[in-house]
Structure 1
């Protein structure tokens, strides 16, 4: 087997021994580690493939000027941009099969930001001293694998860090040797779908109906990262159609609160901009998600609350918030360049929001619908169905609408 090239990202001034240990472990599997120094303070003559001054130049800076004139934020952003540019150049040239980064707060941020530039499906691993906290800023909407280093990465490998780093190397080697790249065989027959636990029954039914008709279905969990990942893949031209069943993330985006705020703003913008046939519904738009009960902001604690599980609280959105979501939904759909239909199940948009459910408040739903009908341009049809979002009839209606638009566009 021909050896693979795996980039090793770290701040060489503080992580030299760890980076060289990782390179040795990669070499023991018959592969080559490509050392990239992301540390702005390493001196000249560093024995790496890409020294820090070259990294800085890739971001448009001379290293000496960057360190002299830049603040910490500017320096970190520049080094991350430079590392990312190197990774993309190697990837585009076919001379990179995987990447592994390591660091504390600063090094993790630089490495993660750079690795997120690589496409979904490309092997990427981060070993971080801060991985047991909130890692969303590091992972974003990508498939970056993150491992907690347990011990600090200072002073060279120790019995604990040797094990952790060795396991991380084994993971990245396994990915580059046996990993599975994303293969989209026929874009025109690949459909994106959004879901949450509250709309899972509908998503399962829609997926089954589409698969029966020979379509490939990729479902995204509408948890902030999932919806953003879908939008990115829509921009890349992966899908021939989209059923955005669960638009929950939009209400958190416009409110600016909740555990499922999109990683990047812009839900429900990709398909309209690309002209991809789009079916939209209102799954989960009537509530906000938070973590355990104590994470709910005090100003919201008098609202209806239902604990989806001990770590996930569903909080009823206010009428004003739902109207704001409807306004933004209409605004984004009105920019559409392709066929769009909005399907509304009148008997509930989620398990908990159905009549008799713990989050049912018809006044908010009605306010959202009034706003949507008023603001949505007449060329985008709104169809109201006398069923619940998880009913078979609604799944069939979504599939029929999408396939009709896709066939007409073909």
Structure 2
């Protein structure tokens, strides 16, 4: 039987949560619902599977929440709930999770979903803030958000319709997930993550086609938008990838210069820590990303800017910034070598993106050479293979050769 985990604050949303519970069961009578109360105040009700009092006793040292600020309560209860949710998942007792609430409840539920559950597990939140800036809620995960339209504060016909839709949705997702999990076997094909940006798409398309057609390798392409890089690294840590071709490391530029597509300072760590076959290149490191032209910080007004589209403005990486990117990559790799981790770095000297090739708007040999030199200097006298290649990153031959290098690292025969 498929199970759905319903997470909510019963001290403030009990009626709405009970309606949602009934909506799930009406939609799929065979689905069982586990209700966990994560509210500030304890509530007793027969429908609550895991009470707030029991949650605090088992995972919160029976802490008194009375004097804690609201924000601290949310963090504390999220931490408490993460543990039983993870246990329920690992035992195979639940196959989907849902919550409904305002900004506080959404913050709590999304934290639990991100921290306790893997990618691919059904996650749904009915939220009053689902139509706003959802980046901090979803981050690099696959949480599905449904806007409640009205506040989750009293049952009216509109909210009933929304909650009924949500109940039917999570019941269907959980049933499908349960069916897949009970019938699937271990992956029979190798799984490779590849990073891509619009300006490295031709290379990634060629790599993907080559790996899939010649070796039957399943490719997972991650858009290097910040969340994309973090999603790939989350999947690596979950054991969902066998190798990585990190072709497009542009997110490092944004991390160092304050762009809007940073994956943070831990970028590159996951594959190096996992010790899986891993080839790194420098795709799109000629740019930092900002939003519309009017959003570019004033300190960058005099820099070379390029409007990629109406909502994305690119800033050409300077010589100093390119050097810093190269040093970042080299330091990350060197830091992993004492664990016996090895990798390769490929440098496409004919252009690191389609707009930095000779004659392109971002062509800047001095900046590119600063990038290449920083990597080679940083990795000098190590066992790391650094490949100087005269071709551009989007050259079809470069794409095939770097793909073949990864296949060799994976130990796959023709």
Q: Same fold (TM over 0.5)?
A: yes
1:113 corresponds to 2:111: yes
**Residues 221-256 of structure 1, C-alpha deviations (whole Å, 9 max, x = no match):** 11112211211222233333211001111222233x
Q: Tell me what 1:192 maps to.
A: 193
Q: Does the 8 A contact of 1:277 with 1:338 survive in 2?
A: no
Q: State the shift of 1:71 in Å.
A: 3.2
Rounded to whole Å, the distance in 2 between the matches of 1:150 and 1:210 is 45
Q: Tell me what 1:56 maps to.
A: 56
Q: Tell me what 1:389 maps to.
A: 393
Instruction: Give the number of equivalent residue pairs.
Output: 401
**Residues 333-375 of structure 1, C-alpha deviations (whole Å, 9 max, x = no match):** 1124333111111121112222222223222212111211111
1:321 corresponds to 2:324: no
Q: Does the 8 A contact of 2:286 with 2:316 survive in 1?
A: yes
Rounded to whole Å, the distance in 2 between the matches of 1:346 and 1:20 is 61
Q: Does the 8 A contact of 2:342 with 2:383 survive in 1?
A: no
Q: TM-score, normalised by structure 1?
A: 0.92
Question: Which among 14, 21, 24 is matched to residue 16 of structure 1?
Answer: 14
Q: TM-score, normalised by structure 2?
A: 0.91
Q: State the shift of 1:58 in Å.
A: 4.4
Rounded to whole Å, the distance in 2 between the matches of 1:44 and 1:25 is 21
CA spacing shift, 1:355–1:150, aligned 2, 3 Å? farther
Q: Tell me what 2:172 maps to.
A: 174
Rounded to whole Å, the distance in 2 between the matches of 1:177 and 1:63 is 36
- 3-state SS in 2 of match to 1:130: coil
Rounded to whole Å, the distance in 2 between the matches of 1:139 and 1:184 is 28
- 3-state SS in 2 of match to 1:245: strand
Q: State the shift of 1:323 in Å.
A: 1.6
CA spacing shift, 1:42–1:265, aligned 2, 3 Å? farther
Q: Does the 8 A contact of 1:57 with 1:82 survive in 2?
A: no
Alpha-carbon RMSD across the aligned residues, in angstroms, is 2.1
Q: Does the 8 A contact of 2:43 with 2:51 survive in 1?
A: no
Rounded to whole Å, the distance in 2 between the matches of 1:379 and 1:346 is 22
Q: Does the 8 A contact of 1:199 with 1:350 survive in 2?
A: yes
Q: Tell me what 1:361 maps to.
A: 364
Instruction: State how 1:11-410 maps to structure 2 within 5 Å.
Output: 11-28=9-26, 29-30=28-29, 31-43=31-43, 47-64=47-64, 66-68=65-67, 70-116=68-114, 117-155=116-154, 157-179=155-177, 185-186=187-188, 189-211=190-212, 212-255=214-257, 257-262=258-263, 265-334=265-334, 335-336=336-337, 337-377=340-380, 378-407=382-411
Q: State the shift of 1:293 in Å.
A: 2.2
Q: Does the 8 A contact of 1:9 with 1:111 survive in 2?
A: yes
Q: Does the 8 A contact of 2:277 with 2:409 survive in 1?
A: yes
Q: Does the 8 A contact of 1:354 with 1:388 survive in 2?
A: yes
Which consecutive residues of structure 1, in runs of 5 or more, have no partner in the other structure?
none
**Residues 142-183 of structure 1, C-alpha deviations (whole Å, 9 max, x = no match):** 11111121111112x222222222222222122112245697
